[in-house]
């Protein structure tokens, strides 16, 4: 059952594919903001998926984060999400990423619960 306070955490090692150079978002080989955002979204998404009905998923609709520190390739990054608001099918998460030195990014992320088949049918439509 979905409830306020549901948490998730994940770790990963920053690789070459995660850099600003690889994402086209910068010219330095450091953890890219788009990669950090994707990591945050994935951590939030995975936290609620086990509680959804069969044939449902969540889609990201909004994110507001600050990227506060650069991380080099090879360093471990941890992401945490916490479900802080439920409004029918709308879910709001507090998200945070950090390494051994401290917080590198934080903010809020919104997702909506959708029926996979209906959602995809609208795209065909």
CATH number at residue 48: 3.10.129.10
User: What is the domain extent for residue 56?
Assistant: 7-124
- Give the C-alpha separation, 78 to 32, whole Å: 14
Question: What is the pLDDT at residue 51?
Answer: 98
In a domain, 23, yes or no: yes
Percent of the chain past pLDDT 70, that is, above it, reads 100
Q: How many CA atoms lie within 13 A of 34 on its CB side?
A: 10
In a domain, 22, yes or no: yes
In a domain, 42, yes or no: yes
In a domain, 50, yes or no: yes
pLDDT digits (tens, 9 = 90+) for 66-98: 999 999 999 999 999 999 999 999 999 999 999
In a domain, 1, yes or no: no
pLDDT average, residue stretch 34-61: 98
Q: How many domains does the chain have?
A: 1
pLDDT digits (tens, 9 = 90+) for 10-28: 999 999 999 999 999 999 9
> With 0-12 CB in 10 A as exposed, 13-18 as middle and 19+ as buried, what is 18?
buried
Question: What is the pLDDT at residue 25?
Answer: 97
In a domain, 2, yes or no: no
E strands, the chain, are 7-13, 56-67, 76-87, 90-99, 102-115
């Amino acid at each position: 059952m979905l409830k306020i306070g549901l948490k998730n955490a994940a770790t990963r090692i920053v690789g070459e594919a995660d850099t600003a150079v690889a994402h086209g978002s910068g010219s330095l080989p450091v953890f890219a903001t788009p990669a950090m955002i994707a990591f945050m979204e994935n951590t939030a998404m995975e936290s609620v998926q086990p509680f959804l009905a069969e044939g449902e998923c969540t889609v990201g609709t909004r994110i507001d984060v600050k990227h506060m520190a650069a991380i080099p390739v090879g360093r471990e990054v941890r992401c945490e999400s916490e479900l802080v608001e439920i409004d029918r099918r709308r879910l709001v998460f507090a998200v945070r990423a950090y390494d051994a030195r401290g917080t590198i990014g934080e903010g809020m992320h919104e997702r909506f619960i959708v029926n996979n088949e209906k959602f995809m049918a609208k795209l065909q439509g």
